[in-house]
Amino acid sequence: MRGLPMLIRLITPSLRLPRNSRPKARHISRLHRHLQPPSCCRALAMTVSDWKVVPQNHLIPPYNLFTRPLEKSQVDDRQYSVIRLENGLTAMLVHDPCAENAAASLNVAVGHLSDPDDMPGLAHFCEHLLFMGTKQFPKENEYSEYLSKNDGGSNAYTSSSNTNYHFRVSPSALPGALERFSGFFHSPLFAPSCTSRELNAVDSEHKKNHQADPWRIFQLNKTLSKAGHPWSKFGTGNRATLTAAGREAKARGKLSVNTLVNGNGVEKSANISKEPSPITSRTPSPTPSSSSANSESDADGGSVGRETRRRLIEWWSKEYCASRMELCVIGREPLEELAAMVSKLFSPIPNRSQDPSPIIDEHPFGPNEMGTLVSVQTIKSFHAVEISFPLAWQPPLWKYKPGYFLSHFLGHEGHGSLFAYLKGKGWITSLSAATQALGRGFAMFKTTMHLTKNGFDNYRSVVLATFKYLTLLRASEFPRWFQSEIATIAKTQFQFSEKRAAEGYAVTIAERMSWPVPTEKLLTAPVLLSEWESDEGERQVREALKNLQVDSGRVVLMAKKEEHERIFGGEKHWESEKWYGTGYTVERWDDQFLHEARSPNDIPDLHLPGRNRFIPTNLDVEKHNVQEPVQRPHLIRQSDISKVWYKKDDQFWLPRAVVIVDIRSPVAGDKPRATVLTKLCVDLVNDSLTEYAYDAELAGLAYHVTAHSLGMTLSLKGYNDKLPELAKYVVRALKNLVPTQDRLNVMKEKLKRDWDNFFMNQSYQLSDYYGCHMLGHQTWTVQELLEELPRVQLEEVAAHNRQLLSKINIQTLVLGNMYKDQAIALSESVEGILDPSPLVEGEVPSERALILPEGSNYMWITSVPNPNEANSALTYYIHLGQLNDPRHRVVGTLLARIMSEPAFNVLRTKEQLGYIVSCSRWLLHGDSHFGIRIVVQSERGTGYLEERIEAFLDTMDTKLEEMKDHEFDDFKKGMQQRWREPAKNLGEEASKYWQHIDSGFLDFLRRFENADLIEKVEKREVVALFRERVHPRALKRAKLSIHMQSQKPRPPRISAKAVEVFEVLVREAGVPVDLAATKDEFDQESPVAADFLKRWSDVLTEDTVSIDVAKGLLGRLPALMEQYPVQDENVYSCSADVTRVDDIGAFKASLDVSPPPRPLVDWGDLPAAKL
């Protein structure tokens, strides 16, 4: 696979804050995903004559305007402008009169590679604390609350060389959002009262990732860098790393009341505020528990926390420089108005005279890191090998993109490719190759392969074959048509690119804005390639190939410990990575392997690809004036077997189409074994089509066949020119499936691995899964599927495929640049190829939900399967009712939206329950019923989490009752705007229609009905629904909570009350000790018992007290811990009305099943649809 491979993407994570928040397609063709550019200096690309000064106008400061037009796609109807403020900040302004949301993204050319050596994670901590209020808007959740009311949201992430902050909001609310957003960069409070909580948030984020292989392997690769290289830094950080400098300074007596130390250990008079946050910046939890920290002295982390905050401000005051910032703003306002807003709001950011784009030229691979094999222990069960080579930083090579050229060949999956050869051997299940921008100034070229068990046993041969293919590339000629074809595909994709969501588009632009390219090419240079007009393009490729050799690469072999030792033939001497404890070994290749790897290619099956016959040649679009786009698809064909829903594109005017063919059969998932067989059939079909369909994917025509509980779905999207040809080929492959034993074995092994690894997912993912399962009719657990998988035989698969396809119902959606007769012809071809019998009424399967009875309160408790996972999770579901009741649907959806931000603010920000906290609407199976789901992942007990959620719900009654009318209207307007916003692209439009076809309700105009209805909704209706069905004491409330409890015991802790009583005993004993200073040693209100005991053992020495008194005091601790336990570690005492679920099957059998779906509207399209 050419493009950024999934594993490479997974093991280069950025640090992202959760905001009230299907796997990616295996092929990612957009070039920006290959390069992931950080900021870099664009000064050389700027010509003074291309800029003009726009003078000051009243309160609008002057700025420079780029005068040349920006190159853009021929179908892009947005207007662009680039301005540079006097402080050096550069902004891209985008006028989009049809924008569904306004958005902004600010990229700072500083990331975790700029962390001080003694404070790993400081850039990440800055990203967290920066959001906690500004001088203009001191309330800590003012920003998120404003966005939430205006149908918006925000996020941020810290990468190696940049940090990005971004938001989306209703278009009319953009000025207010920018006003709040801009203050973070010129006058943030870094609220002292939030210091301890955000330290905990960073710590919780790290712990969330501790059992995740992508993060573990990512950090190991960093740790194994050249000694002293910044790439080796621990970018996430945790509470210990962020406070280590402060704790060390305190131990040296450097942290007196008025004296702090700077990063070099030099004493410095503290000139930052040591006062608590302004009273308006921090409101305590409205539902404080006994473990809630409400005192400001606890909240600011004491002297250590204050020193950590001081160091943060010192770092921010140096590194967050206006000239290092690139901003993108997308809105409906004219460009001049956007420019005025940006100049006024962002000009106050100071220019601190820093290097605009600090570059690290040195690569983290030195002689000791090259030519090595690193064996890595994984948490999940899988086999993979990753081969990495040093590569020149790619943004300066934007014209020819040599790294992308090489990824095209090494990641190819067609005939003669490395993938085809290794797959034919039964050694791999996937291969991907891509460039990876590690930091500004250095990069890698990586090839990643997921191996079968047999492939892992033969990993040396797999790696050797890769080096043989690289040798083949070095020895081959590159006719210029190779680059020409790649450039043609990229140009076509760009010229007919679909509009993206505003927020994601703003992030992409802001990330790319400081590429070293001419300003007019900011949109085109990152994604387009030039043909080889001279020898320079090929020279760059040959130069890159020189480094892609065994002597300069690193091979990382990934598997469980026992698998490594099995092929090694005994126990290995493992080392442990510092931050995650990942087990690994490093060794050098033996001489025999090196000799073979350096030898010419001797594998005859390997050769370069031929020309791509799927490159579209007909890109015509018949565009005509449309007063208003048709709001739904029409039924244009109906037979005993199938229905065809169709809509000709009337708003995007691109040579693209989307086709969805859903095949339903009552035997597809009626039993666990049938579900397994259906999944294997689909996997084998996809597997058989790889070599044929890969060129289509490269050329922008993608397909996939997926299995589901009701049957199979074939989806195709891309250029319509050759779409029918590909569709018919795939359907024939589905009909004529002839599985072989070797490929079935590979698919079974892969499926078993995926399902085994499911139980190693994060705790909240598991609690959500079980919640869905328990409320779904005729659903099977992963465990039930795993029990059937080993017994599946070859002949069963073919027989099941024949039986499934012999009697079916087909629903088809055709949308885009295809005519009605083409859609009908394609449908007839599908029916003709499959040649099935029809299902009679009542046989067509449908998804259905299980309905909790009114007045019920269910709880299911189980253990997190991963014994090393420290986090528990709680999914808390409250049933609201039927989704097909229009007013009930609108009121319930509005209630869920109003609850979302307060839930995050109280449960995550204020109470610090955990990093993962979310409150949202939840649709049950079949989309006929819905409710509200709150999920929390935490190190605390799930019983305590349930108590805190119910305490939060108790306070929501008052919040709803006291909500001002204008606030309520803001929420209504935000939801109305969301429902009325048009689809941004063909895929989004297809998704909107398909959910109504798939559910069977055919309620295509629902969102418009919602938007009209919400105008009439009154606050009393929302309050009434909450009191009737959501409040913990509501008589009609129907609730189910899923408790996933960690098996890993938390270290015993001492409660705040026990600490308080112990200090009284110390004082009564007359011990001469500074109690406040001793208490300040601990990061948390309830310290770990072992740490507390050790600290007091160090204090109660013979110099201060007798041995008997010391023993007596310390001996009281166990009794105090028992008398005053930490509340959240208590066993949850269920309320009297809670029903504990012990048997899931019996529980599901006791619930009512939602009725089969029926169309809510008779559209009357046939016999002749009026199109």
Active site residues: 127
CA distance 804 to 665: 6
Whether the Cβ atoms of residue 37 and residue 512 lie closer than 8 Å to each other = yes
**Phi, psi (rounded to 5 degrees) for 257:** -60, -40
Q: Long-range contacts for 357-360 (Cβ within 8 Å, ≥24 apart)? A: 357/39, 357/40, 357/41, 357/109, 357/324, 357/440, 357/514, 358/109, 358/110, 358/114, 358/161, 358/440, 359/40, 359/41, 359/440, 359/441, 360/113, 360/161, 360/230, 360/231, 360/439, 360/440, 360/441, 360/442
Q: How far is CA 354 from CA 317, 357, 441, in A?
A: 11, 9, 17
Tokens of 1077: 């200073």
Beta-carbon count within 10 A of 452 CB:
22
Residue type, 701: L
Exposed / middle / buried, residue 697 (Cβ in 10 Å: 0-12, 13-18, 19+): buried
Q: How far apart are CA 225 and CA 204, in angstroms?
A: 26
Cα end-to-end span (Å), the chain: 40
Backbone angles phi, psi at 664, to 5 degrees: -115, 140
> Are the C-beta atoms of residues 634 and 1169 closer than 8 Å to each other?
yes
Whole-number Å distance between alpha carbons of 313 and 262: 11
Give the C-alpha separation, 1132 to 944, whole Å: 7
Residue 447 CA, chain-centre distance (Å), reads 22
Beta strands in 417-497 (DSSP E): 428-439, 442-451
10 Å CB burial of residue 829 (0-12, 13-18, 19+) is middle
Secondary structure letter of residue 904 according to DSSP: I
CA distance 924 to 943: 25
Angle of the 195-209 helix axis to the 302-319 helix axis, nearest 10: 80
Q: Which residues, in sequence order, are bridge partners of residue 922?
A: 931
**For residues 363 and 370, what is the distance between their CA atoms, to the nearest angstrom?**
11
Q: Report the C-alpha gap between 994 and 987 in whole angstroms.
A: 10
Residue 801 near residue 744, CB atoms below 8 Å? no
Strands (E), 1000-1075: 1038-1045
Residue 1086, SS3 per DSSP: coil
- Determine if residue 341 is left, alpha or beta; phi over 0 gives left, psi from -120 to 50 gives alpha, anything else beta: alpha
Burial zone of 1075 (CB within 10 Å; 0-12 exposed, 13-18 middle, 19+ buried)? middle
- Cis upstream peptide for 1167 (omega within 30°): yes
Q: Which two tokens stand for residue 269?
A: 């008079």
Tokens standing for residue 637:
């064909």
The answer to whether the Cα torsion of 199, 204, 210, 212 is positive or negative is: negative
Fill in the DSSP letter of residue 1157: P
- Give dist(CA 371, CA 414) in Å, integer: 29
1124: Cβ contacts below 8 Å, ≥ 6 apart: 1055, 1057, 1058, 1061
Q: Please tell me the distance from the alpha carbon of residue 197 to that of residue 205, in angstroms, as a whole number.
A: 12
